[in-house]
Amino acid sequence: MSVWLVQMFNSLSVSSILLLIALGLAITFGLMNVINMAHGELIMIGAYTAYVMQNLFADYLPASWFGAYFAVAIPAAFCVSFLVGLALEAGLIRFLYGRPLDSLLATWGVGMVLQQLARTIFGAPNVGVKSPEWLNGGLSLGGSVLPYKRLFIIGLVIVTLIAMYLYIYRSAAGRRMRAVMQNRQMAACLGISTRRVDAMTFAIGSGIAGVAGCALSLIGPIGPSLGTYYIVDAFMVVVLGGVGKLLGTVAGALGMGVFNTYFEFWTNASLGKVLVFACIVAFLQWKPQGLVAMRTRSLD
């Protein structure tokens, strides 16, 4: 199989991971305008949930059941991160609506605390999650092998995306959510409990971060600072794609994944990152509205 096809698959794989990480942000940042720097730690929590699930299955269930742990880990990771997100919203975020820069800093503090908590509980060194048997190996295609893990993550992203789309655009709860994000006062007048919608929205964004963490545990070891490096890329995806649009986030992730893979292929990992950053800044010269489109007719 040609090098180009392998590259294509790789970029699709990188994009899918970026997208999975950015989807949760697309909700909390894109819809609620809250800069949640602890998003990386919610991912970390999801990853450790997978780790805990693995250990539980290995310790208490027959060995033949072990392969099923990952199927349980995904919903479990969603639930744990969802609950942490719910607590975070109730305890902190709700004081910070309309203060995006402050939300950024305060949630960074939360991230510090959560990281240290993970260090205290699980220890500072990275831990490995043993992937279930059915995800090892790969699909042979014209002489090259597409790893099942990568394929699985691509599938997981597509499922998550569809679920999010159905929730946001096709369900009553999603309609309430969009109503509150677009016009808070009006929605409140129509009898929508904006407090509950805020909490739910933030918690769902957090839950998706948990799912992303679960997926990350498949492709490498996990540690307390797992989220720190993914978070920057994830924010770039949301910024690049245009804030507040699900489709934009998908496009942003695909764009960044493709460019990242090809630049790294042509140059090397570190120069590739520089080029991607340069491309993003260049793109913003051409379309800064991608960033500020929401406020065309108002002053400040």
Partner 1 sequence: MLLKNATVRRKIVITLAYAAVVALLACAPMFLSDFRLNLLGKFLAYGVVALGLDLIWGYTGILSLGHGIFFGIGAYCMAMYLKLEATGAGRLPDFMQWSGVTSLPWFWEPFRFFGVALLLSVLLPMLLALLLGFFTFRNRIRGVYFTILTQALVLIVVTLMIGQQAYTGGTNGITGFRHVLGFSLASPSVKNGLYYISAAALVGSFLLCRRLVRGPFGKVLQAVRDGQNRLRFLGYDPAKYQMFVFTVSAGLAGLAGVLFVLQVGIISPSMMDIVPSIEMVLWVAIGGRGSLIGAAAGALLINASKSGLSETYPDFWTFLLGGLFIVVVVFLPKGLFGLLARLGARMKGGLGDAMAGGRGRAVVGEDHR
Partner 2 sequence: MPWPAEEVVLSLEKITVEFDGFRAVNGMDLSLRKNEVHFLIGPNGAGKTTMLDVMCGKARPASGRILFRDRIDLSKKKEHQIAQLGIGRKFQAPSIFSELTVEENLALSLQKKKGVFSVLFARRKEEDARAIERMLSTIGLGEVSGRRAGGLSHGQKQWLEIGMLLIQEPAVVLLDEPVAGMTDAETEKTGELLRRISVDRCVLVVEHDMEFVRQFAGKVTIMHEGKLLMEGTMDEVQADARVAEVYLGKRRDADVVGAPA
Min CB(114)–partner 1 separation in Å:
8
- Rounded least distance, CB 90 to partner 1, Å: 14
300 binds partner 2 (CB under 8 A): yes
Q: Is 299 in the site for partner 2 (CB under 8 A)?
A: yes
Classified as helix, coil or strand, 2 is coil
Cα 82 to Cα 18: distance, rounded to the nearest angstrom: 20
DSSP 124: S
For residues 132 and 244, which CB has a smaller minimum distance to partner 1 in the complex? Answer: 244
| Nearest alpha carbon to residue 208 among 29, 13, 71, 74 | 74
The closest alpha carbon to 291, from 14, 100, 11, 85, belongs to 100
- The tokens for 299 are 């002053």
Q: How many CB atoms lie within 10 A of CB 202?
A: 25
Tell whether residue 123 is a contact of partner 1 (CB under 8 A). no
Q: Given the rule CB under 8 A, which of 58-66, 142-150, 215-223, 292-300 is the region that contacts partner 2?
A: 292-300
Residue type, 24: G
Q: CB of residue 246 vs partner 1: minimum separation in angstroms? A: 19
CB of 28 to partner 2, least distance (A): 26
Measured CA to CA, the distance from residue 272 to residue 74 in angstroms comes to 32
- For residues 116 and 182, which CB has a smaller minimum distance to partner 1 in the complex? 116
List the x/- string, 237-276, binding to partner 2 by CB under 8 A: ----------------------------------------
Q: Where are the alpha helices (DSSP H) in the chain?
A: 3-25, 39-60, 69-91, 100-122, 148-170, 172-182, 184-189, 194-219, 226-241, 246-266, 269-286, 289-292
**Which residue is it, tokens 């500020």?**
292
Q: Does 159 bind partner 1 (CB under 8 A)?
A: no
Rounded to whole angstroms, how far apart are CA atoms 243 and 39? 17
CB nearer to partner 1: give 161 or 279. 279
Among 139, 162, 274, 294, binds partner 1 (CB under 8 A): 274
DSSP-H helix ranges across 26-131: 39-60, 69-91, 100-122
User: Does the footprint of partner 1 cover residue 169 (CB under 8 A)?
Assistant: no
Residues in 208-267 that interact with partner 1 by CB under 8 A: 228-229, 232-233, 235-236, 239
Give the footprint of partner 2 on this chain (CB under 8 A): 296-297, 299-300
Give the footprint of partner 1 on this chain (CB under 8 A): 35, 92, 95-96, 100-102, 104-106, 108-113, 115-116, 119-120, 228-229, 232-233, 235-236, 239, 268-271, 273-274, 276-277, 280-281, 284-285, 288, 291-292, 299-300
